[in-house]
Each structure stands twice: as structure tokens, then as C-alpha cells.
């Protein structure tokens, strides 16, 4: 079996018909044999000659000063035959890891350098908080847009000064002025002020303007009713987006064109990886998995650090060990083609320390508790979305205008 990596593909924008993960995916491959490394049986099957005959032929060519014969599998018998299986595994594993790393890096670079969907597109951020700053930084870091094409609006002038000094973008405290020339408007405000922001922008947005909401729990129906606008993308990012390693799940209304979906994909890709789903209901499910997921990981890290301290490690050393363990495990899982259960088996020797530890976790109901936690988060997300939708302008009765005008008298 060949250990070569399959050609990488990078989807700049997911298909509107089914969920598509925007990331470099690697085809399943073997870590035992890579590139030109082959066992003797391959060469014998290729030529139909015995191992002894091949060895004699190779000696004759070497004594005559001729280069080794090149087989269709690689660089000749002297380079392709690896007699020690353990050595072959080690070399192939290292080479595969290097290839995967290079392929992932090259794939990301190709994606970012090829992306022209946001070129010269005016983008306005309503709210210059943590997530807004992370998205602006990602766009500029990947050179998807120029600083002059970005406008940040916020009610706090000191915050605007910080963003302007950091990114050299345009800033304003007037939301209505900020969106007039924008082709993309990103709503990055807190949920409790979203209703007021939508009311302020209602009637100002152009029909072709794309609205991207990263407001937690805000459903498309609520945003559309508040803005009086239909071209809307709803997203669910997570905390690691602040360092460009986030996971963002998003969906779009039918009014969002294919070109606008491409723009949304490129915009959200600046935060890390992104995944499009056609059904908005999956965003509540994403909230429970990737949205709240970092909280689960942080809790696990906290517990592991405390356990290490209990064993006698200093808290600083315990923190460093745990962070690197989680980081390395995540990177290994990302680059490995095997299921996490297989990776766990790799470090769980029969009767060993990991086996005893896993037994205690399973005995304590680790999987069940985690499953219940994810389900509780999902149910809470659905409930909060229903509350926000009920409070939307469309759910409230339209205000009537009071008048003191007397009714006209009927004509006789």
C-alpha cells in the first residue's frame, strides 16, 4: 500500500446544498510504507527473479560503476528495500508527518493567496469588541482586504481609538454612517443591545448588502424582522477564533447569492475553520458542541492541572504540561487519518497506566456525563433562541398611533 498523500483540495466556499467542511482533508494512508520504501517482495514480484539473483545483479552493477537499477516503485533496490520493519515504520512515520505538515501549510497558503472574493469589498463591523477585533485582525493578517476597506463602529470612543491605532482602519460612532457604503455588515455586538442596533439600522441598508451576524443566540427571523432585511448569514463562532484557530458553523438565507456565500466563507475563514449547514437548527447543535466545547476542554485542563499538583508538581509546571499535552493531542488527531478510538488504543497498553486511568473514567460515567452536558447546552440554546425570537419586533404587536381626531359625522 502506498503512503503517498492524495492531492489536496480546498473548498473556498461550501456548497449551499449540503454541509461542507472548509479544511484540507487527507485521504487515508498507511504509515508503514512511504514514498520509495518497499520490501524485497515488491522488487521480486516486479522482475520475477529471486532475492539471490537480484543481489548478484546489484553487486555486478556496483562493481562496474553503474548506477543502481531504478524500479517503477522508486529509486532502485539499494534505496527501496528496507530490511528492518521497525526502521521502516519509524522512517515512514517521520516522513508522513513531514508531508502532512507541508501539505496542510501549502493548502492554507493556496487558499489565502487565491481568495479574491473580498478584494476591494467595503466591510463594516458594528461593534468593535473582542470578536470584532479578532475578525478584523484575521482579515488583515491573511491580506484578504486592505485596512482602508474596513470600518469599525462602536459607541465607546476609547475602544475605537484602540482599534484604529492597532489596525489603521476607519472608525465612527455612528452606525448609520458606517453602513452606507458597506457591501458586508458584520453584527458583532452583545445580544442585549442587538434589538436597539437593528432598530437604528432599519431602512438604511441597501438590498444587496450582506449582513453577517456573530451574535450568540440571535436567530435569522429576529434579525430580519429587526433590520427589515433578507440577505443574512448567521454564524456560531467559538473562543479560539480570537487566536485564528476557531470553528465557525454558519448558514444563510435564500436571499444570499452564491457570490455572497463565497464572501461569507472567506470572511469566516479568517477566524479559523468554517462549516456551512443548510438547516439553521444545526446552529443550536453547534452551540452545544463547538460553541461551548472550549469550556469543556478548559474544565478538563483545570482538573488535570489540579491532579498534577496533587501529585507534587508545581502549578506552573503542571499548567505547561497539560497545555502542551492538549495542544499536541489535538494536532496529532487533526493530522491523523485514524479514528480517535484507535489513537487512544495506541497509548493504552494492556494492564498499563493508561488502561487503569481509562477504566476509572469509564467507571465514573465520563462519556455519559459529557453527553448529558452537550444535550443540556443544546436545550438551553434552543430555549434562549425562542426567548429572543419572542422579543423580536415581529413577535410584538405593531404600535398604533394615538389620535384625538373626532370621527366624521355620517352624511345623511
Provide the grid cell at 12. Answer: 473556498
**Which range scores top for mean pLDDT: 31-35, 68-72, 183-187?**
183-187
387 vs 360: CA distance, rounded Å = 40
Establish how many alpha carbons lie within 13 A of residue 201's alpha carbon, considering only the half-sphere containing its beta carbon: 32
Please report the pLDDT score of residue 358 as a whole number.
97
Q: What is the mean pLDDT of residues 224-249?
A: 96
pLDDT at 270 > cutoff 80: yes
pLDDT at 7 > cutoff 80: no
Provide the grid cell at 25. Answer: 482533508
Please report the pLDDT score of residue 301 as a whole number.
98
pTM beyond 0.85, yes or no: no
Confirm if 182 and 122 have CB atoms less than 8 A apart.
yes
Q: What is the mean pLDDT of residues 14-40?
A: 38
Where do the structural domains in the chain lie, given as residue ranges? 114-280, 293-370
CA angle 326, 33, 343 (to 5 degrees): 25
Provide the grid cell at 145. Answer: 482586504
Among the listed residues 201, 168, 290, the one whose alpha carbon sits nearest the alpha carbon of residue 238:
290
Confirm if 283 and 277 have CB atoms less than 8 A apart.
yes
Among the listed residues 384, 355, 365, 328, the one whose alpha carbon sits nearest the alpha carbon of residue 97:
328
Higher pLDDT, 144 or 44: 144
- CA 7 from chain center: how many Å? 21
Among the listed residues 223, 172, 258, the one whose alpha carbon sits nearest the alpha carbon of residue 392:
223
Q: Span 114-280: which CATH code?
A: 3.40.50.720
Count the neighbouring beta carbons within 10 Å of the beta carbon of residue 260: 22
What is the CATH architecture assignment of 293-370? Answer: Orthogonal Bundle (1.10)
Provide the grid cell at 338. Answer: 485514524
pLDDT at 365 > cutoff 60: yes
Confirm if 215 and 189 have CB atoms less than 8 A apart.
yes
Amino acid at each position: 500500500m502506498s503512503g503517498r498523500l492524495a492531492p489536496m483540495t480546498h473548498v473556498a466556499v461550501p456548497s449551499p446544498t449540503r454541509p461542507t467542511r472548509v479544511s484540507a482533508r487527507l485521504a487515508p494512508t498507511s504509515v508503514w510504507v512511504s514514498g520509495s520504501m518497499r520490501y524485497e517482495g515488491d522488487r521480486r514480484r516486479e522482475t520475477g527473479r529471486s532475492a539471490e539473483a537480484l543481489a548478484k545483479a546489484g553487486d555486478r552493477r556496483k562493481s562496474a560503476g553503474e548506477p543502481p537499477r531504478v524500479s517503477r516503485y522508486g529509486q532502485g533496490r539499494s534505496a527501496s528495500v528496507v530490511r528492518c520493519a521497525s526502521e521502516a515504520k519509524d522512517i515512514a512515520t517521520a516522513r508522513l508527518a513531514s508531508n502532512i505538515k507541508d501539505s496542510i501549510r501549502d493548502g492554507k497558503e493556496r487558499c489565502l493567496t487565491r481568495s479574491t472574493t473580498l478584494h476591494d469589498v467595503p466591510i463594516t463591523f458594528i461593534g468593535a469588541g473582542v470578536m470584532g477585533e479578532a475578525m478584523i485582525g484575521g482579515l488583515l493578517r491573511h491580506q484578504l482586504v486592505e485596512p482602508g476597506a474596513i470600518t469599525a463602529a462602536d459607541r465607546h470612543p476609547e475602544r475605537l481609538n484602540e482599534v484604529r491605532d492597532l489596525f489603521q482602519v476607519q472608525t465612527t460612532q455612528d452606525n448609520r454612517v458606517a453602513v452606507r457604503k458597506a457591501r458586508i455588515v458584520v453584527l458583532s455586538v452583545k445580544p442585549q443591545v442587538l434589538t436597539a442596533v437593528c432598530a437604528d439600522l432599519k431602512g438604511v441598508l441597501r438590498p444587496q448588502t450582506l449582513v453577517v451576524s456573530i451574535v450568540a443566540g440571535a436567530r435569522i427571523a429576529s434579525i430580519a424582522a429587526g433590520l427589515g432585511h433578507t440577505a443574512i448569514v448567521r454564524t456560531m463562532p467559538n473562543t479560539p477564533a480570537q487566536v485564528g484557530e476557531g470553528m465557525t458553523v454558519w448558514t444563510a438565507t435564500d436571499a444570499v447569492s452564491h457570490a455572497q456565500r463565497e464572501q461569507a466563507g472567506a470572511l469566516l475563514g479568517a477566524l479559523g475553520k468554517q462549516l456551512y449547514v443548510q438547516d439553521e437548527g444545526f446552529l443550536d447543535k453547534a452551540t452545544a458542541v463547538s460553541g461551548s466545547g472550549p469550556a469543556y476542554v478548559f474544565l478538563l485542563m483545570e482538573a488535570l492541572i489540579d491532579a498534577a499538583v496533587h501529585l507534587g508538581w508545581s502549578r506552573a509546571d503542571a499548567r505547561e504540561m497539560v497545555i502542551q499535552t492538549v495542544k499536541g493531542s489535538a494536532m496529532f488527531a487533526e493530522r491523523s487519518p485514524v479514528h480517535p478510538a484507535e489513537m487512544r488504543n495506541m497509548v493504552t497498553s494492556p494492564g498499563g497506566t493508561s488502561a487503569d486511568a481509562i477504566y476509572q473514567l469509564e467507571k465514573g460515567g465520563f462519556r455519559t456525563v459529557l453527553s448529558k452536558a452537550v444535550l443540556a447546552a443544546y436545550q438551553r440554546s434552543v430555549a434562549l433562541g425562542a426567548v429572543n425570537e419572542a422579543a423580536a419586533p415581529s413577535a410584538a404587536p405593531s404600535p398604533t398611533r394615538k389620535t384625538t381626531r373626532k370621527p366624521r359625522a355620517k352624511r345623511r
